[in-house]
Amino acid sequence: MGLRILGWGSALPEKVVTNHDLQKTLDTSDEWIVERSGIRERRIGDSTAALAIEAGRAALSKSNVDPASVDVMVLATTTPDQAVPACSAHVHHELGLGGGAFDLNAACSGFVYALVMANGLLETGANRVLVVGAETLSRITDWDDRNTAVLFGDGGGALMLEREAGEGQLLGWDLGLDASAREILQCDLGGFVQMDGREVFKRAVRVLVDSAKRTLAQAKVRSEDVKLLVPHQANIRIIQAACDRLGIPEENTAIVLHKTGNTSSASIPLALVDAIDAGRLEEGDLVLMTGFGAGMTWGSALLRWQSPPEAQGASA
């Protein structure tokens, strides 16, 4: 048994904050932010639950799946709206989902972790799993700290998955954690994100490349056969360095960070959904997702793209 993607969706708050807006209150400039990170603007606002609900609703509607027939929802987030109950409880209620739901925190690798969890659930008996990544990093960002304020944004993305007989679309994966580096990127409860940017940068390139390579080797796929790389959207220079080392041309990557900033768990699904909606994927294309984040966690997943079955009718 494996997974089949039935639908997808994404959500961004309405409020746009440009680099020019930030340079009014911070000792920074549009030139510096664009050159060092590739980010031009980000979206700010809403709650994590609201973004997860919007993205999840879009994925359910696209796949024409009855929400009550969902067995499990996995919500990847580092910014739940409350400590208790889990953010997924609100989302479950508002979407009218059946089955269970839980939050998963693996920082910016969260969506890949959630996808791999979902695959395991489908292999062991679940029929439908909704996977969501949603964040409101703006709530844990110190807007007076130029080291972090220029980088983060809010958003959400979702995939509706169904069990499929056979191998399914997930061909390989790699999850990991080097907790000796857990202090280089952290946020206390009620506090703001603190980060050693240079150290994160250095490690990020290394773990992205190693994790991507392990995933490709596991699936016996060469990097030149990857049609689309969907990396965590943190910094364009990290993505360029990883592409270079993997031998994947930069034009084969899905990029949204110039308009979203770094949205942690939401960044990979936002970039994937953007690429799908732009018609960049054809039947059989290989899609490699790879992310890294606080912990330091990393995660990669290789998918074979399959167009979802046309209007299946709401299935119970």
Would you call 232 a catalytic residue per the annotation? yes
Q: Whose Cβ is closer to ligand UT7: residue 41's or residue 71's?
A: 41
Name which of 28 and 186 has its Cβ closer to ligand UT7.
28
Give the neighbor-by-neighbor strand order of the sheet with 128-136: 2-11, 154-164, 128-136, 72-76, 100-104
- Shortest distance, position 38 Cβ to ligand UT7, whole Å: 9
Q: Cβ closer to ligand UT7: 22 or 58? A: 22
Minimum Å gap between C-beta 44 and ligand UT7 is: 17
7 touches 61 (CB < 8 A): yes
**Residue of 57, 54, 52 whose CA lies nearest to 70:** 57
Footprint of ligand UT7 (CB under 6 A): 28, 32, 36-37, 108, 146-147, 150, 185, 195, 197-198, 200-201, 204, 234-235, 262, 293
Of 84, 161, 158, whose CA–CA distance to 118 is shortest?
161
Beta partners for 195?
A: 185
- Min dist CB 144 to ligand UT7, Å, is 12
Question: Is 262 one of the annotated active-site residues of the chain?
Answer: yes
Is residue 178 within 8 A of residue 299, CB to CB? The reply is no
Q: b/e map of 145-182 (b: 16 or more CB within 10 Å)?
A: ebebbbbbbbbbbbbbbbbbeeebbbbbbbbbbeeebe
- Residue, CB closest to ligand UT7: 197
Residue of 87, 108, 187, 243 marked catalytic: 108
Contact 98, 68 (CB under 8 A): yes
Q: How far is the CB of 264 from ligand UT7 (least distance, A)?
A: 6
Task: Specify the residue, 101 or 207, whose C-beta has the smaller distance to ligand UT7.
Answer: 207
Q: Which of 92, 232, 235, 243 is catalytic?
A: 232
The residues annotated as belonging to the active site are 108, 232, 262
